A and B are shown apart, each in its own frame.
Chain A
Amino acid sequence: ELKVEQNPLFLSMQEGKNYTIYCNYSTTSDRLYWYRQDPGKSLESLFVLLSNGAVKQEGRLMASLDTKARLSTLHITAAVHDLSATYFCAVVPSNTGNQFYFGTGTSLTVIP
Chain B
Amino acid sequence: DTGVSQNPRHKITKRGQNVTFRCDPISEHNRLYWYRQTLGQGPEFLTYFQNEAQLEKSRLLSDRFSAERPKGSFSTLEIQRTEQGDSAMYLCASSLGWRRGPQETQYFGPGTRLLVL
**Chain A residues packing against B (C-beta within 8 Å):** 4, 31, 33, 35, 41-45, 48, 50, 88, 90, 96-105
On chain A, the residues within 8 Å of B100 by CB distance are: 31, 50
Given contacts A31-B104, A42-B110, A48-B105, contact A105 B41 (CB under 8 A): yes
Task: Give B contacts to A, CB under 8 Å.
Answer: 31, 33, 35, 40-45, 48, 55-56, 58, 91, 93, 97, 100-102, 104-111
* Given A48-B104, A97-B55, A98-B48, A42 contacting B109 (CB threshold 8 A): yes
A102 contacts B110, C-beta separation under 8 Å:
no
Q: Which of B33, B43, B102 has the most CB of A within 10 A?
A: B43
Q: Which residue from chain B places its CB closest to the CB of A107 in the assembled complex?
A: B40
**A43–B45 CA distance with the chains assembled, in angstroms:** 14
A35 partner residues in chain B, CB cutoff 8 A? 108
- Of chain A, the residue at the smallest CB distance from B31 is A98
CA distance A104 to B33 in the complex (A): 19
Q: Would you mind naming 20 contact pairs between A and B with Cβ atoms under 8 Å apart?
A: A35-B108, A42-B111, A43-B43, A43-B91, A43-B93, A43-B108, A45-B105, A45-B106, A88-B42, A96-B56, A98-B31, A98-B97, A100-B33, A100-B35, A100-B45, A102-B43, A102-B45, A104-B40, A104-B41, A105-B40
